[in-house]
A and B are shown apart, each in its own frame.
Chain A
Amino acid sequence: MSNVYLDHAATTPLDPRVLEAMLPYLKENFGNPSSFHSVGKEVKDALDDARTRMATILHVRADELVFTSGGTESDNLAVLGFCRANRPSTALRSAQEVREHTPAQEVRGHIIVSAFEHHAVLEAAMHLEKKEGFEVTYLSPDHDGLISVDQVMSAIRPDTLLVSIMYANNEIGTIQPIAEIGNAIQKYRADATKVAVNSGFKATSVASGPIFHSDACQATGFLDVDVEKLHVDMMTFNGSKMYGPKGVGALYVRRGLKLQPLQFGGTQEKSLRPGTENVAGIIGMAKALELVQADREQESQRLTVLRDTLIAGIRERIPKVRLNGHTTRRLPNNVNISFMDIEGEAFILYLDAAGIYASTGSACTSTTLDPSHVILSLGLPYEVAHGSVRFSLGHSTTMKDIEYVLETIPPLVAKLRALSPVRVDPKYYE
């Protein structure tokens, strides 16, 4: 039976070279890095080494990395930790308002996120909105699944604390202009600083401009993660999407930023993330990052060919389909297609029976009954979201796999369509 795993955006298998790097720290080198004896010191050295190697790739300082339990925790720490620690206590005015002599406004603290962020960012922001009095602006992507620099900049207010826009979307793979947004935010902040110095107002009454966070979990295997070039202040990484272990992640936090920890009880990770470090996991993540980054251009080229073959093949063989997300400004491994008139979970089960493992934005596979918020944010109706299927390619994917998928799925779609009473409005796929 065929066995085609096309769910690499959910998680990737562990690279054997990563496992090899981890094994000593699961076996003989078991010490606690906080211990003052040589058993602990040995492990502390390995931990520091992993931190340094990861920092080198990301072009950051080693002490700017906080190790966490994964992407979700990193996102939560960035959003909750930063906003809670930096809530404005005084009235603020923007540089523009200083120039125009507008009186300072009483403010609540404002957050900007895209409407199709991962739930780890989205629900953290919603929590701050509902329970802690912050205000949140949700930026809708355009029909191609892209957020623009102008959109972000025109949403900024004097009390905007944080902008969080993901590097690449986890469902539709669209790549956001992170470097451009980061650059614009940096300029905004430089302008604010200049005005604050020259205005004669108390510097604290002039808005210093927002901090920029980006979730790079899906992007790490394919895109440039040089933080300096991207102009981000915080960035989320995850081990289990790049052939590293599960249960480990990192948050880059630019030096000087103040965050409130989410948990207490130790001084590890500069007290931002207390608790004995997941040593083997961190060492595995560092190794995984090195491997995917060394290989990323070659692997991206290879997968782009497979991705485009799959997209073109589906379009050619199956009527009434829609590619969700921009055709080229998307990750090399992401294909997200809505098959009209059928429901994703049923399709996933038919695919599963044929040995093809993919995922869907249908409500049926979520714990709520709502379908994918990502597909809905593109301005598409519920039935199109229910019929969306994500094929995410990876190291193991070959042209033979793509050919097998293309051979296998047309009759499955036809069969489910024969059972379906739904006929989606042609304007959504023509």
Chain B
Amino acid sequence: MSYSQPPVTGKAGDVTTKDGGKSWFYTDVVKDHFFNPRNFMHEDANPDDYNAIGKVGSPACGDELRVWMKVDPASERVLDFRWKTFGCGSAIASTSMASVMVTENGGMTLTEARTIKPQHIMDRLGGLPARKFHCSVLCDKALRDAINDFYRRTDQVDKMVVEASRIIDPISKVTDHDIEEAVLEGATTIEAVQAKTKVGIGNPSVLPAVEELIRFYKEKYFG
């Protein structure tokens, strides 16, 4: 053919907008963690080397995250934090960054680690596109899930925490207490909880959070 593609600007390996501007693509830190992820769980690693695991999301909703944590039982500091993520660029980068944050400088205590919010991870990443923030930064939840798992395994159930009543699905106005009650009434799958509460119907973006809560209450009440 007689025509050729117009030249595309940008260095090799650089995910950037053609205008070099600040549209929705990622910052250099995000790109670094996305292309060179830190602390991910290697295929040959032994899960038994870790004493707490956490999970959030599902492949159906587009993001699934699992974390493995090694906690020093005496100091309750995070010695090692490994992860696997199925998800978009910002899901991978934010998990990688979270793994750095909890393990750097000798490791956070579980009390400190529990205070990590998506905002903190985003700040360290130098920002994320607005529409990416809510759906892709899930690692703080997986981290709290793992912290609860550690306390459950060490028989410190009183230290397991789930945030006070909050609206999980702004459309159906279902709160975490509604989900707790549904689980206590025997609904232990997303479908069963949806049948009781209508949570996430027509608003599937809330399903990872719902799934996380179901798992939490299931473990809390039924072990």
| CB neighbors of B among A334-378 (8 A) | 341-343, 345-346, 349-350, 352-353, 355, 362-364, 367, 369-371
A386, closest chain B residue (CB): B62
Contact B62 A363 (CB under 8 A): yes
Neighbouring B residues of A345 by C-beta, 8 Å: 88-89
Distance of A424 Cα from B35 Cα, bound (Å): 23
Partner of B1, one of A1, A349, A382, A395: A395
Contact across chains for B62 and A371 when beta carbons are under 8 A apart: yes
CB pair B205–A421 under 8 Å, yes or no, is: no
Q: Is the CB of B62 within 8 A of A364?
A: yes
* A353 B205 Cβ-Cβ under 8 A: no
Give the one of A363, A364, A395 with max B CB within 10 A. Answer: A364
CA gap between A394 and B43 in the complex, in Å:
39
Stretch at the interface among B11-19, B146-154, B162-170, B175-183: B11-19
Report A-chain residues with C-beta under 8 Å of the C-beta of B205.
Answer: 369
CA–CA, A363 and B134, complex, Å: 14
Residues of B contacting A353 in the complex (Cβ-Cβ under 8 angstroms) = 12-15, 35
Contact of A422 among B8, B43, B86 (CB under 8 A): B86
- Known contacts being A1-B12, A364-B88, is A396 close to B4, with CB within 8 Å? yes
A382 & B59 in contact (Cβ 8 Å cutoff) = yes
A355–B86 CA distance with the chains assembled, in angstroms: 23
Contacts A13-B6, A396-B3, A419-B40 hold; do A382 and B60 have CB atoms under 8 A apart? yes
Whether A290 sits at the interface, judged by CB under 8 Å, is no
CB-CB contacts of A51-79 with B at 8 A, as 1s and 0s?
Answer: 00000000000000000000000000000
Contacts of A380-400 to chain B: CB distance below 8 A: 381-383, 386, 395-396
Tell me if B144 is interfacial: C-beta within 8 Å of chain A: no
CB distance from A142 to the nearest CB of B (A): 23
Cross-chain contact A383 with B3 (CB below 8 angstroms): no
**B43, B59, B204 interface centre (most CB from chain A within 10 Å):** B59
List A contacts of B210 (CB < 8 A). none
Asked if A343 and B87 sit within 8 Å, CB to CB, the answer is yes
B60 touches A419 (CB 8 A): no
The reply on A16 being an interface residue by CB < 8 A is yes
Q: A1-B12, A353-B35, A382-B59 are in contact. Are A13 and B88 (CB under 8 A)?
A: no
CB under 8 Å from chain A, chain B span 1-36: 1-8, 11-15, 34-35
**Are A395 and B3 interface neighbours, CB within 8 A?**
yes
Q: How far is the CB of B24 from chain A (nearest CB, A)?
A: 10
Using A349-B15, A422-B64 as known contacts, say yes or no to A383 and B59 having CB atoms under 8 A apart: yes
With the chains together, A396 CA to B6 CA distance in Å? 11
Interface residues as binary, A11-40 with B (CB distance below 8 Å gives 1, 0 otherwise): 001011100000000000000000000000
| Contact between B88 and A362, CB atoms less than 8 A apart | yes
A350 to B37, CA, bound (A): 13
Interchain CA distance A345-B90 in the complex, whole Å = 10
Chain A residues with Cβ under 8 A from B61's Cβ?
A: 369, 382
CB < 8 Å: which of B5, B40, B88, B91 contacts A5? B5
Q: Are B2 and A382 in contact (CB under 8 A)?
A: no
Which B-chain residue is minimally distant from A350 (CB atoms)? B35
CA gap between A382 and B62 in the complex, in Å: 8
Residues B60 and A349 in contact, CB atoms below 8 Å apart: no
CB-CB under 8 A from A382, the residues of chain B are: 59-62
Q: Across the interface, which residues of B come within 8 angstroms of A419, CB to CB? A: 37, 40, 84-86, 92
Closest to B95 in A: A419
Cβ A396 vs Cβ B59 within 8 A:
no
**Given the interface contacts A346-B87, A346-B92, A381-B60, does A421 sit within 8 Å of B5 by beta carbon?**
no
Q: When each residue 40-63 of chain B gets 1 if its CB lies under 8 Å from chain A and 0 otherwise, what string results?
A: 101100000000000000011111
A301 close to chain B: CB less than 8 A: no
- CB of A89 closer than 8 Å to a CB of B: no
Task: Report Cα–Cα, A347/B129, bound state, in Å.
Answer: 18
Give the residues in chain A near B3, CB-CB below 8 Å: 13, 15-16, 395-396
Could you tell me the distance in whole angstroms from the C-beta of A130 to the nearest C-beta in chain B? Answer: 13
Q: Is B40 in contact with A16, judged by CB distance below 8 angstroms?
A: no
Task: Find chain B residues with CB under 8 A from A17 CB.
Answer: 2
Chain A residues positioned under 8 Å from B40 (CB to CB): 418-419
**Which of B's residues lie within 8 Å of A, judged by CB?**
1-8, 11-15, 34-35, 37, 40, 42-43, 59-66, 84-89, 91-92, 131-132, 135-136, 204-205
Given A353-B12, A421-B66, output 8 extra A-B contacts at Cβ < 8 Å. Answer: A350-B35, A355-B12, A364-B62, A364-B136, A370-B204, A371-B62, A422-B64, A424-B59
> Can you list 17 A-B pairs with a CB-CB distance of less than 8 A?
A1-B11, A3-B8, A16-B2, A17-B2, A343-B63, A346-B88, A346-B89, A346-B91, A353-B14, A355-B12, A362-B88, A364-B132, A369-B62, A369-B205, A371-B62, A382-B59, A421-B66
Counting from the closest, the 5 A-B pairs by CB-CB distance are A383-B59, A421-B84, A345-B88, A364-B88, A382-B60
A residues with CB within 8 A of B: 1, 3, 5, 13, 15-17, 341-343, 345-346, 349-350, 352-353, 355, 362-364, 367, 369-371, 381-383, 386, 395-396, 418-422, 424
